[in-house]
């Protein structure tokens, strides 16, 4: 083998191909980029599937101790002490200043006043529960950089699913993610509080935190989405069993005649152990 001309040889030492390896797959193959396939998951699942999936996942997290414990424990091990800042500066005085600065930043990093460490914990649980989440890069009135946590349901497509005006007119929008013709995420549709309201946030000002399953997807799925049906079956069985126990504990046998009154003919009396008459 010679440098600059690496080739594949067969068992006899002959070149398998006259084309060097380093040129294989380069643009001179004449292949053009394929179209964007981000619409494919939408066509397979439907528009309401993701909304229902997140709702079922959140309900399961809130009401199932096993799932909630697993998600919280994962977040504790993922974040934990690993994100507690500690300066490695050898000068104790300088290291103390670094530590003080970072601790001060942790307290003011989030727009809602939450600690930065708490934000990381929420991000971890949100990725498991909702499939993804967003962090908007913003700043305070004085220009200090801050972060704003945004849950997955706030990023969704407009009512008609189209961007019909402005800078992003005519581009693809799927589950609130606006992509260019190559599938690159360039902006996000942030739903507003008022009906019909909303605004577009460019990708340069938004961090999309997601655990992707496939490259051709724009949103993530809950960690335990594969078992949602099974967990719901278990919940249904528990509810049914509890209902059966309640019914069994409330059953009372009341015997009446045609008049609805006590049947005197069936009443009897007998002396008790203490000499008193017991009437039934």
Q: Which of 134, 112, 141 is nearest to 201 (CA)?
A: 134
Give 119's DSSP letter: H
Q: Which of 235, 66, 219, 38 is nearest to 130 (CA)?
A: 219
Domain that holds residue 77: 45-160+206-225
Strand 132-139 relative to strand 145-150, pairing: antiparallel
Which pLDDT belongs to residue 184?
Answer: 84
Rounded percentage of the chain residues whose pLDDT exceeds 90: 12
**In this structure, is residue 139 part of a structural domain?**
yes
Which pLDDT belongs to residue 181?
Answer: 76
**If you search the block for the tokens 């934000």, which residue do you land on?**
119
Answer positive or negative: Cα dihedral of 34, 35, 39, 40.
Answer: negative
Q: How confident is the model at residue 1 (pLDDT cuts 50, 70, 90)?
A: very low
Which pLDDT belongs to residue 123?
Answer: 92
**In this structure, is residue 236 part of a structural domain?**
no
Over 70: is that where the pLDDT of 267 sits? Answer: no
Q: pTM surpassing 0.75?
A: no
**In this structure, is residue 26 part of a structural domain?**
no
**In this structure, is residue 273 part of a structural domain?**
no
203 compared with 44, residue with greater pLDDT: 203
pLDDT digits (tens, 9 = 90+) for 232-258: 788 788 888 988 888 888 777 666 667
Over 60: is that where the pLDDT of 145 sits? Answer: yes
pLDDT digits (tens, 9 = 90+) for 9-36: 666 676 655 555 445 445 455 566 666 6
- Among the listed ranges 169-178, 187-196, 210-219, 258-267, which one has the minimum average pLDDT value? 258-267
Query: What rounded mean pLDDT belongs to the chain?
Result: 77
- Cα–Cα distance list, 89 to 84, 99, 101, 106, 123 (Å): 16, 10, 14, 20, 30
Over 70: is that where the pLDDT of 7 sits? Answer: no
67 compared with 212, residue with greater pLDDT: 67
**In this structure, is residue 129 part of a structural domain?**
yes
Number of domains forming the structure of the chain: 1
Q: How confident is the model at residue 280 (pLDDT cuts 50, 70, 90)?
A: low
**In this structure, is residue 109 part of a structural domain?**
yes
Q: How confident is the model at residue 2 (pLDDT cuts 50, 70, 90)?
A: very low
Over 90: is that where the pLDDT of 206 sits? Answer: yes
**In this structure, is residue 136 part of a structural domain?**
yes
Over 70: is that where the pLDDT of 111 sits? Answer: yes
**In this structure, is residue 9 part of a structural domain?**
no
- Among the listed ranges 5-19, 54-68, 102-116, 157-171, which one has the minimum average pLDDT value? 5-19
Over 50: is that where the pLDDT of 212 sits? Answer: yes
């Amino acid at each position: 083998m010679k440098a600059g001309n690496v080739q594949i040889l067969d068992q006899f030492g002959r070149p398998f191909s006259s084309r060097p390896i380093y040129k294989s797959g380069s643009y001179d193959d004449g292949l053009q980029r394929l179209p964007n396939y981000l619409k494919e998951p939408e066509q397979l699942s439907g528009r309401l599937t993701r909304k229902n999936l997140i709702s079922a996942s959140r309900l399961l997290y809130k009401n199932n101790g096993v799932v909630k414990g697993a998600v919280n424990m994962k977040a504790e091990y993922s974040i934990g002490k690993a994100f507690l800042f500690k300066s490695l500066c050898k000068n104790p005085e300088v290291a103390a200043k670094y530590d003080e600065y970072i601790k001060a930043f942790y307290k003011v990093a989030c727009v809602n006043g939450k600690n930065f460490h708490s934000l990381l914990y929420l991000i971890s649980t949100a990725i498991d529960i909702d499939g993804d989440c967003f962090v908007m890069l913003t700043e305070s009135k004085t220009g200090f950089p801050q972060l704003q946590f945004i849950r997955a349901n706030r990023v969704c497509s407009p009512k008609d699913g189209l961007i019909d005006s402005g800078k992003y007119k005519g581009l693809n929008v799927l589950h609130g993610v606006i992509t260019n013709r190559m599938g690159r995420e360039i902006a996000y549709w942030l739903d507003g509080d008022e009906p019909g309201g909303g605004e577009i946030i460019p990708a340069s000002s938004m961090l999309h935190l997601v655990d992707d399953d496939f490259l051709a997807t724009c949103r993530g799925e809950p960690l335990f989405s594969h078992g949602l049906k099974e967990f719901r079956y278990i919940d249904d069985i528990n509810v049914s069993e509890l209902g059966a126990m309640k019914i069994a504990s409330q059953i009372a046998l009341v015997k009446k005649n045609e008049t609805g009154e006590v049947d005197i003919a069936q009443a009897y009396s007998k002396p008790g152990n203490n000499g008193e008459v017991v009437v039934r």
